[in-house]
Structure 1
Amino acid sequence: MMKKAKKSLLTLLIVVFAMSLVLAACGGGNNSNTSEGGNNASEANNGGNVAASELEPYELHMVYPGTKQRDHDKVMAEINAYLKEKINATITIEPIEWGQWDQKVNLMIASREPVDIYFTAQWSNYVVNVAKGAFLELDDLLANTEAGQEIVASLDPAFLTGSKINGKNFGIPTNKELAASGGVVYRSDIAEELGLDMDSVQSLEDLRPILKTVKEELPEMIPLFMREGENFNSDYIGLYDPLGDSNIPGVILKDEESTTVKPRYEFDRYRNHLDLVREFFQAGYINQDATTTTLSTSDALKAGNVFMITASLKPGKDDELASTLGLNGKLKQIELTPKTIATSETAGSMLAISQSSENPERALMFVNLLHTDKYLNNLLNFGIEGEHYTRDGEVISATEQTANYSPASAWMFGNQFLNYLWDTEDPQKWEQFKSFNDEGINSPGLGFTFDGEAVKTQIAALVNIRTEYDGALNVGAVDPDEVLPRYIEKMKAAGLDDVLAEKQRQFDEFLANQ
């Protein structure tokens, strides 16, 4: 069986992964020169072992999806003071609201705006943007610079292997969990207040009486917050493996063994999820602005009037969110899918260097620091020690100022195993990650990424059509009986069959070579 055949590879990867956990638990990541804190540049390398004084000054620009924090500028000042000593650079880190992310990035790329580093992911037009020539091919930089070699040494090899396109790397993955499951995160304090039996929730359908009670008892609260990309047909709940960029049609199922590439609408679960979410939307369980909101799911929870969100889950996701959102002890999670391992996890969070960067080497130095420098990594993710948090060893505690800087984006930047643990999190969190990965089911498509170059014209048209229809369908704002046939008709007219055939051809070739 294919999944069994891949177990030996996975076992090897997990052994390496476990070793990285041990090193991370020792407080120094995988780099013996990692900075432990403070602005003492002599205590740590600069991401390239080149003296900062030998480097020309350079202003970096990085963009990522997120909400600008109240103390963003204050934290940026600390980051830039540190970077000046480390790599003689400063950086503008620009968070872009989730609802505006795709559109703004498209404009930046089209206009060749001087951006050095883009956040990217399989679910965020990674393959599409590579096909546009937006991102720099990184293999030479990774192999021939000390910063690149340190990044490679810090990562489980599964990440760089699994995120390649046509054998080449265009993004540097975040070092985090390898497996994923889908489910929901909910306000446990509200559930207790209403006497809800959350243990009864074993499937999406089981949410029906829970959401109904919340709607009736707390009419001012949104029972279930949804938005485009965060709903029942998201890859993490539908368990779709898009074999590359999730914006490009053609998927297999991560929890089944078939290797036949199909459009999502040919799978029963896709239509069942559309019908269920339509029911919930009409009943008023879902926020009525789900098609237009720019709020992320974490920001929606933080606002205080949301009971439940959908989420890609991992060990301690509820505690992690609670700490960053000021909801300690008030969030719990429910896994509703098996744990799976696919290329979407290896390429689920990456930093890419833009073709418009005037200094890719310096951009790589910064990315390397996020992978190896404990002080910088935690400064970016949690803010200023003594102000936004207090620290006792590797454990941090919230302060009155925590809410002023809590971007909840640690999974985006560098190496999560450098992150401090909140005092509300399980101290065995990283060990739990290993067990989580051990239990993962391998997708038949693990390690494959579709190269859309041969059908890029069709892909561009299909991505536009998907943008037009997916948002409303997937949150229940329109009737699938009426809208889905038009959606399918437009996709077929735009070259859907061409893309499916090319993706199947490449995938078959990949499988034949395993």
Structure 2
Amino acid sequence: MTRRTRRPIRAKNLLLACLFLLCACSNQGGAERPSTSNAAGNGIESASPLTAVQEGEDVYPMKSYTLKFVYTGAPQKDEEEVESAINDYLMAKINAKIDLIPIDWGPWNDKVNLMIASREMVDILFTAQWNKHAVNVSKGAFLELDELLDQYGQGILQSLDPVFLAGAKINGKNYAVPTNKELAAQGGIVYRKDIADELGIDMSQVKTIEDLDAVYQIILEKKPGMTPIYMKQGETFNAHYIGNFDALGDTSIPGIILKDGESTQIKPTYEEERYVKTLRITRQFYQKGYINKDATTNQTMNNDALRSGDAFSITSALKPGKDEELAIQSGLAGKLAQLALNVKTIATSETAGSMLAISSTSQDPERAMMFINMLHTDVYLNNLLNYGIEGKHYEKVNEHVIRPTPNTPGYNPGTNWMFGNQFLNYVWDSEKADKWDLFRDFNQNAKISPGLGFVFDGTQVRAEVAAVVNVDRQYQTALETGSVDVDQVLPEYIESLKAAGIEKIIAEKQKQFDQFLANK
């Protein structure tokens, strides 16, 4: 792959380093705000020392640059206005602008794959262990970041728990910067608490997926037209966040261990009893009418399914306040609750579960790292990107708590978990005021996966991985949503996977994993 960051420090780097130091010195604590001339209009003097910019004059040591920032999420109505406010701030800080390029979840994979294959010039991309990060690294899509982190990412290195960067390495190198967020993981459902209360359903009695049968039967009978559990591709009871399956890297590459287990023997999912048992339960739920009939083809996001009012529950990765976050995004404040269906774990899927990478096509990776560093350290920028403009998209209750306005739906991307440092985020007044303390508590006493820190390198089996991915497209979603008969289709799926080379992938993954364990 291209190795742009391993090179002597040129004059450009030195000048950028000076600019970075000026920015860092001006923003200690990260709570500084721009002047009244910017779009936020908050009346607080800018912290930037580089305020002597005259119209039409570039007094910065480097030319201005526009960073193209690609991430997953629904485009927002007021995106252009927020982008303008961000640009006013960034120009004073690092002489840069941002081009926000959100891509909705449905077309995300296809569009990003095309960007990477065509070598489109972008700067920063969202990536994750579960979203083909390792595969894209092997394609040379992302830069190695170690030197850039040392030069322009000191705020990241100082604030981010080292386990995040250690757990996100591939062959000893970091190719993306993890989000500073919850370290533990748990899965279950988010459901309509108001409906459960109305119907007298005691959700505290639900401990397993099987226990949901009685709940969903009541919903089906008492709320005609409401789907008891909404499912789509990747959002099922066999999602890794509920099954506690550790894919030891990219979840699109077969071969798992259990995060909550002790075994280090890698298996294909169809040999894992938990996976097959859940397939059968899901099939029963589908036949009883609990699951939406279009689960194999529907691309409606879980949040939108809740927002429509037609779904009682969705599967979800959980964390403290996840139900409250979704309630705000879906217009259901006070009406949602969450229910865990497994134990807390920590695995590479968490340390590398939400990251920002710098594209190997970037024309200014130094400036890209400066921006990522600001998302980890700058309170104003972080919250501007996440919540929009104060006084329009939200109002402050106090220094840390905000409340919505009639304009909140114009910019409410719900992407906090993707950008920088979540512990800098404001908290909505409908959320718990001690949310971030709950996050820290959540990280305690979690079961650590035997595979923490290992990421499979699929270079040696690239052709087989591609073939397996094609097989998965044909069978996986239909099976995991209960849409087809397990006894009939699962054997066909297994036969096709074996023909595609899954056993060779499992053997190579086990070989690498055994070596990793021996070297620990």
Instruction: State whether TM-score is above 0.5.
Output: yes
Q: 2:197 aligns with which of 183, 192, 195?
A: 192
- 2 CA distance for matches of 1:58 and 1:38? 19
> Counterpart in 2 of 1:477?
483
Q: 1:288 aligns with which of 277, 289, 293?
A: 293
Q: 1:88 to 1:108 in 2, by over 3 A?
A: same
**Residues 1:97 and 2:101 are matched in the alignment:** no
Letter in 2 for 1:294: Q
Q: 1:58 aligns with which of 43, 60, 65?
A: 65
Q: 1:445 to 1:286 in 2, by over 3 A?
A: same
Range with greater deviation from structure 2 (346-355 or 313-322): 313-322
> Counterpart in 1 of 2:169?
164
Range with greater deviation from structure 2 (317-326 or 265-274): 317-326
Question: Conserved in 2, the CA contact under 8 Å of 1:34 and 1:45?
Answer: no
The 5 A counterparts of 1:56-455 are 56-143=63-150, 145=151, 147-391=152-396, 392-455=398-461
- 1 CA distance for matches of 2:382 and 2:153? 17
Letter in 1 for 2:509: K
* Partner SS for 2:339: strand
Question: Conserved in 2, the CA contact under 8 Å of 1:183 and 1:335?
Answer: yes
- 1 CA distance for matches of 2:59 and 2:155? 17
- 1 CA distance for matches of 2:476 and 2:485? 12
Q: 1:223 to 1:501 in 2, by over 3 A?
A: same
Letter in 2 for 1:499: I
Question: Conserved in 2, the CA contact under 8 Å of 1:395 and 1:422?
Answer: yes
- 2 CA distance for matches of 1:510 and 1:207? 39
Range with greater deviation from structure 2 (455-464 or 154-163): 455-464
> Counterpart in 1 of 2:6?
none
Residues 341-398 of structure 1, C-alpha deviations (whole Å, 9 max, x = no match): 1111000000111111111111111111111111111111111111111112100111
> Counterpart in 1 of 2:17?
none
- 2 CA distance for matches of 1:358 and 1:105? 18
- 1 CA distance for matches of 2:89 and 2:165? 28
- 1 CA distance for matches of 2:59 and 2:147? 22
- In the alignment, structure 2 segments of 5+ residues that lack a partner are 1-23, 36-43, 51-57
Post-superposition shift, 1:302?
Answer: 2.1
Residues 65-85 of structure 1, C-alpha deviations (whole Å, 9 max, x = no match): 211122222222222222222
- In the alignment, structure 1 segments of 5+ residues that lack a partner are 1-27
Post-superposition shift, 1:33?
Answer: 4.2
Letter in 1 for 2:360: Q
Post-superposition shift, 1:293?
Answer: 2.3
**Residues 1:464 and 2:470 are matched in the alignment:** yes
Post-superposition shift, 1:270?
Answer: 0.6
Post-superposition shift, 1:467?
Answer: 2.5
- 2 CA distance for matches of 1:338 and 1:244? 20
Range with greater deviation from structure 2 (217-226 or 151-160): 217-226
- 2 CA distance for matches of 1:350 and 1:68? 20
Post-superposition shift, 1:326?
Answer: 2.4
Structure with max Cα Rg = 2
Q: 1:443 to 1:507 in 2, by over 3 A?
A: same
Question: Conserved in 2, the CA contact under 8 Å of 1:97 and 1:295?
Answer: no
> Counterpart in 1 of 2:40?
none
Higher helix fraction (1 or 2): 1
Post-superposition shift, 1:42?
Answer: 5.0
> Counterpart in 2 of 1:37?
33
> Counterpart in 2 of 1:502?
508
> Please, what TM-score do these two structures have when normalized by structure 2?
0.89
Post-superposition shift, 1:41?
Answer: 8.4
Q: 1:96 to 1:89 in 2, by over 3 A?
A: same
Post-superposition shift, 1:255?
Answer: 0.7
Percent pairwise identity: 57
Post-superposition shift, 1:35?
Answer: 3.2
Question: Conserved in 2, the CA contact under 8 Å of 1:185 and 1:331?
Answer: yes
- 1 CA distance for matches of 2:440 and 2:450? 21
Question: Conserved in 2, the CA contact under 8 Å of 1:251 and 1:262?
Answer: yes
Question: Conserved in 1, the CA contact under 8 Å of 2:303 and 2:329?
Answer: no
Letter in 1 for 2:142: F
- 1 CA distance for matches of 2:416 and 2:334? 20
Q: 1:44 to 1:502 in 2, by over 3 A?
A: farther
Q: 1:348 to 1:230 in 2, by over 3 A?
A: same
- 2 CA distance for matches of 1:36 and 1:332? 35
**Number of corresponding residues:** 479
Question: Conserved in 2, the CA contact under 8 Å of 1:33 and 1:43?
Answer: no
- 1 CA distance for matches of 2:79 and 2:298? 22
Range with greater deviation from structure 2 (35-44 or 400-409): 35-44
Question: Conserved in 2, the CA contact under 8 Å of 1:35 and 1:43?
Answer: no
* Partner SS for 1:165: coil
